[in-house]
Amino acid sequence: MKMAAEEPQAKKPKLEQNQLSENVLFGMGNPLLDICAVVDKDFLDKYGLKPNDQILAEDKHKELFEELVKRFNVEYHAGGSTQNSVKVAQWMIQSPYKAATFFGCIGTDKFGEILKNKTEEAHVDAHYYEQSDEPTGTCAACITGDNRSLVAHLAAANCYNKEKHLDLEKNWKLVEKAKVYYIAEAASLAREQGFETEDIKEIARKAQALPKVNPKRQRIVVFTQGKDDTIMATENEVTAFPVLDSDQSEIIDTNGAGDAFVGGFLSQLVYDRLLTECIRAGHYAASVIIKRSGCTFPEKPDFH
């Protein structure tokens, strides 16, 4: 990566030696518009929701999202696992804006327009494939007291068309500009690969050793386990990293912790920093997000 050119008048604090360019991080996944509101028990009962749950929307939930907006005071956030991680990475990076790029599919509707505005506010360079067959994916966060009942309607998020979007020259150029790529939503790896073990360190070791198309770049495997140690497997070793201690009374919402960890990790990976530093940033980002409602954060990080 090119070094930043020295300015003759540069008597400012020393800048990072490797300044980032726009679109250095690329993420692709299922974009959702998070719609958050404090609701009452009658609303939960009407749609058969438990106070603290996560479900995929069924036919009986079709009217839920519009009713939530009409009846309650809602907050909107750009959501979906990968989009959350990319959003957190951009927050951790701060400058330049649009260091993070995101691709996904939305509908040509009101919620799609709101989602575009929200990713723009987060300074993420989102390029959506827009289609009219399915509405924009949404996730309703129905809050009662300390409980959150999440109802996700993937809809357009499942309709991404590679030929009509990714393969377009202008979009593929953004892919080529990136240095780090993140595409999530992996299934249960151990069962899928037939590892026949539940030991998290052993699973990490076996996952790291799986065949790889590009042998020149070693695979790094990182598993988070909530409040338990984060596990990292490299070619030579498996290491456990304790997470940051948090006062239990300060924890509000742990749903976005994993996405936030990834975002923090990626924010340092794009600088080619040590993996231990990437994990430290991931733990920091997760520790911030769990003290807030939804995958949200203050204006600037306090990570050094």
Query: Which residues are part of the catalytic machinery?
Result: 259
Instruction: Write b or e for each residue in 76-104: b if 16 or more Cβ atoms lie within 10 A of its Cβ, otherwise e.
Output: bbbbbbbbbbbbbbbbbbeeeebbbbbbb
**Three-class DSSP labels, the chain:** CCCCCCCCCCCCCCCCCCCCCCCCEEEECCCEEEEEEECCHHHHHHCCCCCCEEEECCHHHCCHHHHHHHHCCCEEEEECHHHHHHHHHHHHHCCCCCCEEEEEEEECCHHHHHHHHHHHHCCCEEEEEEECCCCCCEEEEEEECCEEEEEEECHHHHCCCCCCCCCCHHHHHHHHHCCEEEECCCCCHHHHHCCCCCCHHHHHHHHHCCCCCCCCCCCCEEEEECCEEEEEECCCCEEEECCCCCCHHHCCCCCCHHHHHHHHHHHHHCCCCCHHHHHHHHHHHHHHHCCCCCCCCCCCCCCC
Dig out the tokens for 213 from the structure. 């198309």
User: Peptide bond preceding 242: is omega within 30 degrees of 0, i.e. cis?
Assistant: no
CA distance 97 to 60: 41
C-alpha 152: how far from its chain's center? 16
Query: Which tokens belong to 288?
Result: 């911030």
